[in-house]
Amino acid sequence: MALWGGRFSESPADAVFALSRSVDFDWCLAPYDLRSSLAHLRVLQNSGLIKSDAAKRIEGGLRDLIADVATGKFSPNAADEDVHSALERGLTEKIGEVGGALRAGRSRNDQVATDLKLFAIDHMLDIADQIIGLQEALIAKASEYSDAPAPGFTHMQHAQPILFGHEIAKHVHAFARDLDRISDWLTRTSVSPLGSGALAGSGLGLAPEVTAKDLGFSSSSANSIDGVSDRDFVAEALFIISMVGVHLSRIGEEWCIWATTEFGWAKVSDAYSTGSSIMPQKKNPDVAELARGKAGRLIGNLTGVLAMLKGLPFAYNRDLQEDKEPLFDSIDTLRLVLPAVTGMVATTSFDREKMAAAAPQGFSLATEIADFLVRAGVTFAQAHEAAGKCVALCESKGLQLHELSDSDFVGVHPSLTSEVRTSLTVAGAIASRKTIGATGGAALAVQLKDAVAETKDYKTKISTQINNFSEMMSQ
């Protein structure tokens, strides 16, 4: 049903209808559209523009429609242009022409912005909840390997020995920043566009701040033109989702490397691996690869929306209809990837012996020699030079650092007494790193304890917000 036929003498050409039709992808906004219609109805009734018996009929119609949309009994037909027109048809089919009264004082422009905000808030809360689930899996895995030495890398070269739990735990902090971003985004997004009308606000004396409150927003738009034009919340949500996707892709890359025969550290469980159609021996880390691959798609959705918004005149322009599919796709994508990565993390086991054996390789204890000299009063520049010479000596003699003789050490630097050998152990190197955030066992234990507490706080906060939102939706 078209919502705008009056001034036209011809119906739109088929090609125009096909181009402008959005109901095939915006139907998922239906529950939010119906809920904001209930809020709009209340202000129309309070302002006396809809009498109470008409308001009762409209409310009954909207509530029936909410149930019919949920069960699938009501759905769009071939002639519906978008979710708003389909639902207005549904309402008038149920209660007759009085259904059209709801259109007073609002436009699809403020309606679609409101619906999309509610949809985005609902789904970003769900994503936050899934991120917390992944953090819990990462913390559990980090705790399981909080006593397992492994080489740490920079430039993908052995750098310094670390505890493997420290390696896993780093991801928890990246996701904590994502949760912070979602929380900031929620605060900024909590402004209701409803009541902005087409662009200039409504002359009917409605109260946007009342509908805002009804829908759980903190305030209503301070500028009605901005209210209908603002899609920052879409772009920002897409950035946050892309950042989560990038974090997932970095986990994916690590898992792929650790699962290679050459590394042989990670044993990915069968339930989170796939096979090859031709090579019977293959067990592929497809979850990790898809986590890596999907990040590209998420970034694409973000850049697509930014490009659509760039240079767009205020207020509403039909270009804005292109905000939806990228947002829906990114949300769907992340909600597919997050549980799979969480399961993969939770069910992967690691080869402690292999990691421990690799920990001192590649002269990863050379920094200990430099630190030993610094403690003996040598400048770091000289200490670094001396440690480098020890490495070169080892390479020429085919030895490991701790295998150099006392005279080799003193030959390199007079302060390199035989005592240096006590620093040249993986356990000693790790244990000496005691400061906040360092890899030493004690520091790692504190880090994990704090992470458990922080995740628990977030869990409480998000579940309260989820409950509040679903309570608002049910009113």
Please identify, using beta-carbon distances, which residue of 112 and 309 lies nearer to ligand ARG.
112
Is residue 413 flagged as an active site residue?
no
Within residues 277-316, the interface with ligand ARG by CB under 6 A covers 316
For residue 353, count CB atoms less than 10 angstroms from its CB and return exposed for 0-12, middle for 13-18, buried for 19 or more: exposed
- The SS3 call for residue 44 is helix
Number of residues that bind ligand ARG (CB under 6 A): 10
Please identify, using beta-carbon distances, which residue of 82 and 329 lies nearer to ligand ARG.
82
Site membership for ligand ARG, residue 143 (CB under 6 A): no
Question: Measured between alpha carbons, how far is 98 from 257 in angstroms, rounded to an integer?
Answer: 64
Site membership for ligand ARG, residue 82 (CB under 6 A): yes
Q: What CA–CA distances, in Å, run from 350 to 159, 247, 266?
A: 20, 21, 5
| Minimum gap (Å) between residue 79 Cβ and ligand ARG | 15
Q: Are 290 and 201 in contact (CB under 8 A)?
A: no
The catalytic position among 155, 277, 396, 474 is 155
Site membership for ligand ARG, residue 22 (CB under 6 A): yes
Tokens 């200490």 -> residue? 383
Within residues 426-465, the interface with ligand ARG by CB under 6 A covers none
Question: Measured between alpha carbons, how far is 30 from 204 in angstroms, rounded to an integer?
Answer: 26
Please identify, using beta-carbon distances, which residue of 26 and 329 lies nearer to ligand ARG.
26
Element (H, E) at 157: strand 157-163
The residues pairing with 162 across neighbouring beta strands, listed in sequence order, are 150
Site membership for ligand ARG, residue 145 (CB under 6 A): no
CB atoms within 10 A of CB 200: 12
Is residue 276 flagged as an active site residue?
yes
Q: Are 139 and 172 in contact (CB under 8 A)?
A: yes
| Minimum gap (Å) between residue 314 Cβ and ligand ARG | 14
The residues pairing with 266 across neighbouring beta strands, listed in sequence order, are 350
| Minimum gap (Å) between residue 248 Cβ and ligand ARG | 29
| Minimum gap (Å) between residue 236 Cβ and ligand ARG | 18
DSSP 149: E
| Minimum gap (Å) between residue 115 Cβ and ligand ARG | 9
Please identify, using beta-carbon distances, which residue of 331 and 386 lies nearer to ligand ARG.
331
Q: Are 4 and 16 in contact (CB under 8 A)?
A: no
| Minimum gap (Å) between residue 81 Cβ and ligand ARG | 7
Query: What does DSSP say about strands 349-350 and 266-267: parallel, antiparallel, or unpaired?
Result: antiparallel
168's tokens: 């896993």
DSSP 220: E
Site membership for ligand ARG, residue 189 (CB under 6 A): no
Within residues 313-332, the interface with ligand ARG by CB under 6 A covers 316, 318, 320-321
Please identify, using beta-carbon distances, which residue of 22 and 192 lies nearer to ligand ARG.
22
Question: Measured between alpha carbons, how far is 113 from 388 in angstroms, rounded to an integer?
Answer: 62
The catalytic position among 11, 20, 52, 276 is 276
Please identify, using beta-carbon distances, which residue of 19 and 442 lies nearer to ligand ARG.
19
250's tokens: 């970095």
Question: Measured between alpha carbons, how far is 181 from 331 in angstroms, rounded to an integer?
Answer: 16
Within residues 98-127, the interface with ligand ARG by CB under 6 A covers 108-109, 112
Q: Are 137 and 345 in contact (CB under 8 A)?
A: yes
Please identify, using beta-carbon distances, which residue of 309 and 369 lies nearer to ligand ARG.
309
| Minimum gap (Å) between residue 17 Cβ and ligand ARG | 13
Q: Are 272 and 289 in contact (CB under 8 A)?
A: no
The residues annotated as belonging to the active site are 155, 276
- Site residues, ligand ARG (CB under 6 A): 22, 26, 82, 108-109, 112, 316, 318, 320-321
